[in-house]
Structure 1
Amino acid sequence: METLAIHGGKPARSTPLPPNYPGAVVMGEEEAGALAAVIRAQSPFRYYGPNAPQAVQSLEDRIAGDIGVPYALAVSSGTAALIVALKALGIGYGDKVIVPANTFVATAGAVVCCNAVPVFADIDDSLGLDPGDLERVYDDEVKAIICVPILGNPCEMDPIMAFARSQGIPVIEDVAQSCGAKYKGHWCGTYGDIGTFSFQMNKIITAGEGGAVVTSAPGLFERAVRYHDQGLFRDKERYGFGSDDADSAFAGQNYRMSELIGAVLSEQWNKLGALNRMTKANWHSVHSRLITELPALRHRRIIDEDGHLGSNYGMILPTKEAAAAFNHALAAENIGTFLLYCGKPVYMAPQFFRQRSAERGSFPFDYPFAQPVRYTEAMCPRAVDLMSRTVYLPISPLLTETDIEEIAAGMIKVYRGLCIESLVE
């Protein structure tokens, strides 16, 4: 048996893997040219300028057409997209919103920033929201569900939607990590009432920041547009509908996307399909090698074999100690893996666990709910268990056959060298 690098052996790879920024690593002259065109036009604001290129409008039209919804709104970030979506649905003080225990802090944080309170549902072995746990956390003060396709893996949307419809509440799909993933042939983000996307640095495509809100409901869309632009709806003629501002305007925020970001993202969107195809092919190449050599290695469950992105390869180790050792040993082999969110549920972040906001008196946590919201460390036991045991390998679109061979060899070497198979029941 080969000596592990942590014990002085030769690493499986001589150099680290490509950085985990799929969209950024394929940036080039296309993005640079589009950005330069906006600067030459001296028109970086989306709604007017001396020679506005309408890059944001073009991006919105492209997103809507490609994913199959009538309405897409580009915004300044993925967090802005969530807030705009929640406000479009009228979520506010006195409301609860179901959030999966496995997600980034922005998902729950957007709920709090809308003056509502998150309640956390457990996950299943896909590492996404467990539809079977919705009944446990639901009460009549819950006004929406947010589901999050984690790292390219779709959510189990049919039972989630069935539950939401039975209770008469909307579903938001937070597709920040999974742009291009599909569930039963439909783009993630189009199954629920409203979907949100992020184009932040480590997302599938990126302009550093940026986001989008998509929906098929014109009423929700108008409210989203108004909230993202100080209560205005400037594009009534473009869409052929819209109520009079005197009757429908309300106080909003500024979550507008600039033409600079829109221009870069238009070029990134052109590359999305090819990026996802390369990543998926690389995922299958790694998988085919590992399942042959390590049949006892357990993987996170893939919800849709055709629709998942393959952007991250999830492995569920027998214990959290084994996961930590596996992750540490692979780093020494120059194979960078990670435990998502340090292996902890989002509600363990202090701002949520201690129910703190920037407002006085713990607002909005101070609302006198009929069924008070309390968080405990073990309230989502599967999330506590699975998140601490799941190690992810990011799958870059830039991997070569040599990279894949070295990755597989290194993982097999570490798995066997740590005798992890002996821990499997």
Structure 2
Amino acid sequence: MSLEMAVKETPMNELPIMAPNEGIVLFYPNIPKNAATAVAEVLNTRWIGQGPKVEEFERQFEEKFSNPCKALAVGSGTDALHLAYILAGLEEGDEVIAPVFTCTATNIPFLYMGVKIVFADVDDNLNINVEHVRSLITSKTKAIVCVHYGGLPCDMQELWDLGKEHDIKIIEDAAHALGATYKGQIISSQSDFTMFSFQAIKHLTTGDGGMLVIKDPELVEKGKRIRWFGIDRSSKQKGIWENDITEIGYKYQMTDIAASIGLAGISEFDDHLAHRQNIYKLYVKCLEGVEGIRVIGKEYHDREHAAWLLTAEVDRREDLMLHLRKNGIESGQVHYRNDRYTIFGGREVGKFPKMDYIEERYIVLPLHAKVTEEHVRYIADIIKKGW
């Protein structure tokens, strides 16, 4: 069977990672080499739910990624965001400015809470548009949420300045941005709250999971209670809990099984991040000057891209996707504007001009642990042939 016929008859998510001319998938999980051993060790202990491995994972994460801020491990990135919104004091009727372009997980927790979402447009690189944010602030605005799309940090200094000027909480959705830096500072060390995701295909995975980084140390114990049904778990285990629940909590904890995978991932993180960043830079080099395509986020010098996604702005996207698919290369959009969804009220034509412009022009190309330099050169060569 020819390559073209194989691609037509095989769903792209089932194509294996092989030589460049045999199929390259868009995503592939990064499983640490010691993950199976780490999990097996946990399964032979007393603790498989939330236990000492979770605490160790939090400690090592703080040491590497969030110092001086504290970290709370949870069951998903969405859990971490909801917890952040609660700890930020958001209540029904409050307004929050959030990006119109992001995974729905960023904004869905506001619907749990009755918080009004005020969407902001994107900038040229699909991050939140700070100038639009500035124009949206009202007396009801209680927080601004930004998403470091694909791993490219937002214009944080401007957002921090707005937060200070208007006494507004700044919450970073850094699901894509573990290891990214902004003006020499690692993402998560400055804002009121920062969320990281350890979902299956993120830089660091725990199968599924998340981490909430909290700047105010006085909120940490409250966060721990809300993470576990509102119960003071530490006091309960010591036998000194007053056996009362005074605040609504959730089942948002991480397990030791998941944490053991995360610990194995931390030990390999630097090499994995370096690989992704090298692949991103090679894409930039190989596609420089190619007509009809622009790699998003390549022009910055004050921030370091975490390289979770390689996103490009292209002419005639559907034609390019077909051209890539015929040559065994998977591509896609991955994320979509949230105002397309009924749950968020639906789309109002013309309200977000930059999003409107780029909506049919962005494409995500393969970038993960299994992508090699040879793959990138092959993909670039296929693109250079035209579409």
Q: 1:285: which partner in 2?
A: 282
Of stretches 103-112 and 381-390 in structure 1, the one that deviates more from structure 2 is 381-390
Q: Secondary structure at the match of 1:340?
A: coil
Cα distance in 1 for partners of 2:245, 2:70 equals 19
Please list every run of 5 or more consecutive structure 2 residues that lacks an aligned counterpart in the other structure.
8-18, 236-240
Cα distance in 1 for partners of 2:295, 2:281 equals 13
Q: 2:333: which partner in 1?
A: 339
Kept after mapping to 2: 8 A contact 1:124/1:130: yes
Q: Secondary structure at the match of 1:388?
A: coil
TM-score normalised to the size of structure 2?
A: 0.88
Kept after mapping to 1: 8 A contact 2:279/2:367: yes
Q: 2:226: which partner in 1?
A: 227
Superposed displacement of residue 153, structure 1: 0.9
1:305-360 Cα shifts (integer Å, max 9, x gaps): 45102332222124xxx11211221111112221233xx41121121125xxxxxx
Which residue of 13, 22, 25 maps to 1:15?
22
Kept after mapping to 1: 8 A contact 2:69/2:189: no
Q: 2:257: which partner in 1?
A: 260
Of stretches 299-308 and 116-125 in structure 1, the one that deviates more from structure 2 is 299-308
Which residue of 41, 46, 55 maps to 2:45?
41
Q: 2:350: which partner in 1?
A: 378
Cα distance in 1 for partners of 2:299, 2:71 equals 26
**Pair 1:303–1:35, CA change in 2 (3 A):** farther
Kept after mapping to 1: 8 A contact 2:230/2:247: yes
Cα distance in 2 for partners of 1:214, 1:249 equals 24
Cα distance in 1 for partners of 2:299, 2:181 equals 10
Indicate whether 1:310 and 2:307 are aligned: yes
Q: Secondary structure at the match of 2:369?
A: coil
Q: Secondary structure at the match of 2:30?
A: helix
TM-score normalised to the size of structure 1?
A: 0.80
Cα distance in 2 for partners of 1:404, 1:289 equals 8
Which residue of 51, 59, 62 maps to 1:61?
59
Q: Secondary structure at the match of 1:262?
A: helix
Indicate whether 1:300 and 2:292 are aligned: no
**Pair 1:33–1:127, CA change in 2 (3 A):** same
Q: Secondary structure at the match of 1:25?
A: coil
Cα distance in 2 for partners of 1:331, 1:130 equals 33
Cα distance in 1 for partners of 2:95, 2:294 equals 35
Q: 1:370: which partner in 2?
A: none
Cα distance in 2 for partners of 1:70, 1:223 equals 15
Q: 1:89: which partner in 2?
A: 88
Counterpart amino acid of 2:364? Y
Q: Secondary structure at the match of 2:21?
A: coil
Q: Secondary structure at the match of 1:180?
A: coil
Kept after mapping to 1: 8 A contact 2:77/2:211: yes
Superposed displacement of residue 377, structure 1: 3.6
Q: Secondary structure at the match of 1:283?
A: helix
**Pair 1:281–1:340, CA change in 2 (3 A):** same
Indicate whether 1:353 and 2:351 are aligned: no
Q: Secondary structure at the match of 1:41?
A: coil
Q: Secondary structure at the match of 1:125?
A: coil
Indicate whether 1:326 and 2:283 are aligned: no
- 1:13-412 equivalent positions in 2, closer than 5 A: 13-18=20-25, 20-21=27-28, 24-28=29-33, 30-47=34-51, 54-67=52-65, 68-235=67-234, 249-292=246-289, 294=290, 297-302=293-298, 304-305=300-301, 307-318=304-315, 322-341=316-335, 344-353=336-345, 376-412=348-384
Kept after mapping to 2: 8 A contact 1:339/1:387: no
Cα distance in 2 for partners of 1:350, 1:179 equals 31
Q: Secondary structure at the match of 2:71?
A: strand
Cα distance in 1 for partners of 2:343, 2:269 equals 35
Q: Secondary structure at the match of 2:89?
A: coil
Superposed displacement of residue 187, structure 1: 2.0
Please list every run of 5 or more consecutive structure 1 residues that lacks an aligned counterpart in the other structure.
48-53, 237-243, 355-374, 419-425
Kept after mapping to 2: 8 A contact 1:84/1:228: yes
**Pair 1:182–1:264, CA change in 2 (3 A):** same
Kept after mapping to 2: 8 A contact 1:154/1:303: no
Q: Secondary structure at the match of 1:272?
A: helix
Kept after mapping to 2: 8 A contact 1:182/1:304: no
Counterpart amino acid of 2:247? F
Superposed displacement of residue 223, structure 1: 2.5
Superposed displacement of residue 399, structure 1: 2.6
Kept after mapping to 2: 8 A contact 1:102/1:127: yes
Superposed displacement of residue 114, structure 1: 2.5
Counterpart amino acid of 2:61? I
Cα distance in 2 for partners of 1:117, 1:124 equals 22
Cα distance in 1 for partners of 2:162, 2:191 equals 12
Superposed displacement of residue 298, structure 1: 2.5
